[in-house]
Amino acid sequence: MSLSIVILAAGKGTRMRSDLPKVLQPLAHKPLLGYVINASMSVNPSQLVIVYGYGGNLVKKAFPSEHIQWVEQKEQLGTGHAVQQAIPLIKDEGCTLILYGDVPLIDQETIQSLIKKGQKNLVVLTYQKENPKGYGRIVRKDDRIQKIVEEKDCDALQKNIKEINTGIMCAPNHLLKNWLKRLNNQNVQKEYYLTDIVGLSIEDNIEVLSESADNEVSITGINSKFELATMERSYQLMTAKKLMEEGVTIIDPSRIDIRGEVTAGQDVLIDVGCIFEGKVILGNHVKIAAYSHVKDSVIGDHTSIEPYSHIVQSVIGENCRIGPFARLRPGTKLQNKVHIGNFVEIKNSEVNNETNINHLSYVGDSLVGKSVNIGAGAITCNYDGANKHPTTIEDDVFIGSNTALVAPIKIGKGATIAAGSTITKDAPPGELTVSRSKQTSISGWTKPTKK
């Protein structure tokens, strides 16, 4: 059967107090609407229609998929009115699932259950909420749904009902189209409520079915920055739980942020305050120490990332030790048994096996060989003010502290560069190269005094 999905995403989100449309507010660095689109596409709908409104150009630009049909709701006249805008695009056969762009964590299993029940009947997604304030209530008689009453229209008895309407529903297209034509705005808000189709279904002697959500977070909408932050924590806990079920040790799952996808091997340990972005792959026995930030990177087996390290678009081999306070910038590739120490920055460089860059150094646009030692404060001067230039350091080289290697330059195999040197020419292999100005002491010199 043909499946259409309509996502309502026209609201401004006034309580967000933001120029950014509500459905583009970020959850784990991804727009809210993106989660709903992904959940929708997971069930392979025949068509996906998004009803947009405020900030429409921004919303459409954020999701330039050819699989999405867009329709504008120029006036905000209620949820029923929003679906009415999409109806001209919906086929007569099949069924339609209605989702919301600010309810990001709706899951595939729930969607599939709704679709199964919504082939011949209207089915609504409900939830038993301990504090139902602000939600429409499900009114039943003999366990059958009779109507949905919005909070503002509830009488005293109806306000005590704990079963709430999530707004998410599925219905056969020919019935849905008929009901939408019959909607009116005779209510306190003077809006066209989508929930009124429940009464119309009963009026037509068609039973209204229900599906109960398994957890509250999957049906929770976001309307404010506080609710967004609360959802962020819920999402992070869910993601951390999934990793822990796969065997990852997370010291405190309430203090981790995963803003993308993390794949981990066996016996991985993640300490508190770590942030993961994009696609991160962690090998077996990897340790990520406190407050480290890893983005779009691969970390090999038995490698340890020490506290406060920052790693972006890098590939790290096995048995390496990085940090603390190390920074690996895009294009960094480390082979095995490499040590990158505190306050060392590597950019767009390959560092081969068993090389040590222990502290306070910068290596950029470089190829560093095996068993190299780069001393404290040594840097590659790769930028001439207009262009970047490469540095090659061959195997078994020793670079003394506070050395400046002015690129383009090559340091030969087994060479030693004396501390404090500024090297502007290639250094021959196996020899000591020194480049310092003559040391001079000036007699009779006095220190300046403070004025």
**Run of H or E including 69:** strand 68-72
Q: Would you state the structure tokens that stand for residue 62, as one six-digit string?
A: 């954020």
Helix pair angle (173-181, 79-86), 10° resolution = 120
Degrees (nearest 5) of the Cα angle 292, 296, 300?
A: 75
The rounded distance, in Å, linking the Cα atoms of 212 and 164 is 10
Q: Is 413 annotated to bind ligand?
A: no
What is the per-residue burial (b if ≥16 Cβ within 10 Å, else e) of 322-331?
bbbbbbbbeb
Q: Is 362 annotated to bind ligand?
A: yes
Residues 6+ apart with CB under 8 A from 421: 400, 403, 404, 433, 434, 435, 436
Q: Would you state the structure tokens that stand for residue 216, as one six-digit string?
A: 């509250």
Q: Is 30 annotated to bind ligand?
A: no
Tokens 């305050």, residue located: 273
Q: Is 35 annotated to bind ligand?
A: no
Q: Is 289 annotated to bind ligand?
A: no
Q: Is 80 annotated to bind ligand?
A: no
Q: Is 150 annotated to bind ligand?
A: yes
Q: Is 329 annotated to bind ligand?
A: yes
Q: Is 52 annotated to bind ligand?
A: no
The rounded distance, in Å, linking the Cα atoms of 228 and 232 is 6
Residues 6+ apart with CB under 8 A from 217: 105, 231, 234, 235, 238
Q: Is 8 annotated to bind ligand?
A: yes
Task: Describe the chain by its helix, strand, coil percentages, rounded to 5.
Answer: 20, 35, 45
Q: Is 376 annotated to bind ligand?
A: yes
Q: Is 101 annotated to bind ligand?
A: yes
The rounded distance, in Å, linking the Cα atoms of 263 and 367 is 29
Active site residues: 359
Q: Is 383 annotated to bind ligand?
A: yes
Q: Is 273 annotated to bind ligand?
A: no
Residues 6+ apart with CB under 8 A from 342: 306, 323, 324, 325, 326, 358, 359, 360
Q: Is 373 annotated to bind ligand?
A: yes
Q: Is 382 annotated to bind ligand?
A: yes
Q: Is 84 annotated to bind ligand?
A: no
At 347, which amino acid appears?
K
Q: Is 9 annotated to bind ligand?
A: yes
**Which residues contribute to the annotated binding site?**
8-11, 22, 73, 78-79, 100-102, 136, 150, 165, 223, 329, 347, 362, 373, 376, 382-383, 401, 419, 436
**Which residues contribute to the annotated binding site for UDP-N-acetyl-alpha-D-glucosamine?**
8-11, 22, 73, 78-79, 100-102, 136, 150, 165, 223, 329, 347, 362, 373
**Which residues contribute to the annotated binding site for acetyl-CoA?**
376, 382-383, 401, 419, 436
**Which residues contribute to the annotated binding site for Mg(2+)?**
102, 223
